[in-house]
Amino acid sequence: MNDTPPLKSEGSRPEKLVYFPRSDGSRIPYKVYSSQAIYDLEQERIFRGPVWSFLGLEAEIPNAGDFKSTFVGDTPVVVTRNSDLSLSVWVNRCAHRGAKVCRAARGNTQMHVCVYHQWSYDTRGNLRGVPFRRGVKNSPGMPEDFDTKEHGMRQLRVDTYRGLIFATFSDAADSLYDYIGPQMRPGLDRMFHKPIVYLGCTRQYSNSNWKLYMENVRDGYHASLLHAFHSTFNLVRVGMKIYSTADENHGMHNWSKIFQTEDSSAGAAYKDNQVTSFKAGMHLEDESILENIQEYDEIVTNHIQPIFPQLVVMQIQNTLAVRQLLPKGPSNFELIFNFFGYEDDTPEMRHHRIKQANLVGPAGLISMEDTEATELVQVATASDGDDCSMADMGRDAPESEQMGSGITEYRIRRFWRGYQKLMGL
Ligand code: FES
Ligand SMILES: [Fe+2]
């Protein structure tokens, strides 16, 4: 890459890293998708900055001693359930020589022991044991002034909203309640209005930048054009009633909700526009995978709600999931779909949700195409970093909370404006 040196060595001049030619978020320099220097700055200003990162569901770790390994940005952390059922989050790095302490993805234990020299920590990350601390025979052991209380693993602020677990490195971050904000809370209240059960997860890697996925989940324009299932089977079509909003605080959380609508034209708009992903003659032998059994006040086909930076809450028909997005360098990310149902689901509904999970995830009949699309952008934008992609669709329309067509890129523009502010670019 031809980046100027990273910010740290230059004092405070991040604007040299990248130049956004318009202030409205509609021009995105390609460099932001592949620059190592920008990636490093994101880790500092976003993931270790004043944001709350989503780590998992309380339902994943219900019992005392349960734990889950995950990440805040690219920093490995562990979420644990303490004996009093409170939650802790700590950086998964031994206070001795920096080894990764917890090596399991999930499990249950009261003590986390580092294999390197067997230092042991409780569920809160406090140091409890140091072998040979008092010495043996001719060795004096650790110095007199060594205090285990000063050598725990780094602990993060942790909080929950409706059973969703978040953590932050920042003491300056708003409360989680305010961070989620009044525009977004109703969406989470809708999805988590009663107790849930965790059903399992899928994991996948994409050879593309994490922000391309952040754009994708804010991109109403692509939904019925990229995804053959959406347009062909009338899951999402232009003309459907859509509610969408962005949070008023920083604009980086969004929510769109698409209402199921019959289309008496049988997809005429797609035929007229010669949309190749619309398959007029295609049908399924068994259509039950598409079924939307009504379970809320309104019949919604898609509820997609990214809570910046690591969470996307989704309902597609009766499939419920929280997607966790984890950056893995400038041109890779990991995407985890954590599926859930409600505790009071009938066995039939539970079976239906699990079958319908085939719409999403790594080989999902719908969502396989999203990571393919982000990789197409990644590979074609790796050079000419000062050139820009554009997001002008619907630019002349007002940006406030709206009911209307999904054919807009305003949520992408809001994202990039918030990103520039947070990054100091
Ligand atoms: S690095 Fe963990 S005990 Fe030494
Ligand atoms: Fe998509």
pLDDT band at 210, cuts 50/70/90?
very high
Q: Of 145-154, 328-337, 398-407, which range is least confident?
A: 398-407
CB of 132 closer than 6 A to ligand 1?
no
Residue type, 22: R
Beta pairing class for 53-57 and 164-168: antiparallel
Distance from C-alpha of 102 to C-alpha of 98, rounded to nearest angstrom: 12
CB of 94 closer than 6 A to ligand 1?
yes
Q: Which residues contact 367 (CB under 8 A, 6 or more apart)?
A: 359, 360, 361
Task: Report DSSP state, residue 9.
Answer: G
Identify which has the larger pLDDT, 148 or 16: 148
- Specify the residue for token string 């025979």: 137
pLDDT at 297: 87
Q: How far, in Å, from the CA of 128 to the mean position of ligand 1?
A: 13
CB of 114 closer than 6 A to ligand 1?
yes
Give the residue, by CA position, lying nearest to ligand 1 atom 1: 97
* Tokens, residue 397: 């329309």
Ligand 1 pocket mutation, candidates 111, 116, 142, 148, criterion most atoms within 8 A of CB: 116
% of the chain surpassing 90 pLDDT:
85
Distance from C-alpha of 77 to C-alpha of 352, rounded to nearest angstrom: 34
pLDDT at 399: 77
Q: Is the pLDDT of residue 287 over 80?
A: yes
Q: Which ligand is nearest to the CA of 225?
A: 2
Give the residue, by CA position, lying nearest to ligand 1 atom 4: 117
Identify which has the larger pLDDT, 314 or 281: 314
pLDDT band at 400, cuts 50/70/90?
low
Q: Which atom of ligand 1 is nearest to the CA of 114?
A: 2
Q: How far, in Å, from the CA of 66 to the mean position of ligand 1?
A: 22
Rounded to 5°, angle at Cα 219 from 332 and 222:
95
Q: Is the pLDDT of residue 11 over 50?
A: no
Q: Which atom of ligand 1 is nearest to the CA of 99?
A: 1
Q: Is the pLDDT of residue 8 over 50?
A: no
Distance from C-alpha of 408 to C-alpha of 211, rounded to nearest angstrom: 18
Q: How far, in Å, from the CA of 47 to the mean position of ligand 1?
A: 26
Residue type, 377: V
Distance from C-alpha of 254 to C-alpha of 412, rounded to nearest angstrom: 9
CB of 119 closer than 6 A to ligand 1?
yes
Q: Which residues pair with 307 in a beta bridge?
A: 311
Q: How far, in Å, from the CA of 358 to the mean position of ligand 2?
A: 15
Tens of pLDDT, residue by residue over 72-115, are: 999 999 999 999 999 999 999 999 999 999 999 999 999 999 99
Distances (CA, A) of 102 to 10, 232, 349: 36, 46, 36
Q: Of 65-74, 144-153, 359-368, 403-412, which range is least confident?
A: 403-412
pLDDT at 9: 39
pLDDT at 401: 61
pLDDT band at 250, cuts 50/70/90?
confident
Average pLDDT over residues 30-50: 97
Rounded to 5°, angle at Cα 228 from 224 and 231:
45
Average pLDDT over residues 365-389: 96
Residue type, 79: V
Q: Which ligand is nearest to the CA of 127?
A: 1
Q: Which atom of ligand 1 is nearest to the CA of 95?
A: 2
Q: Is the pLDDT of residue 389 over 50?
A: yes
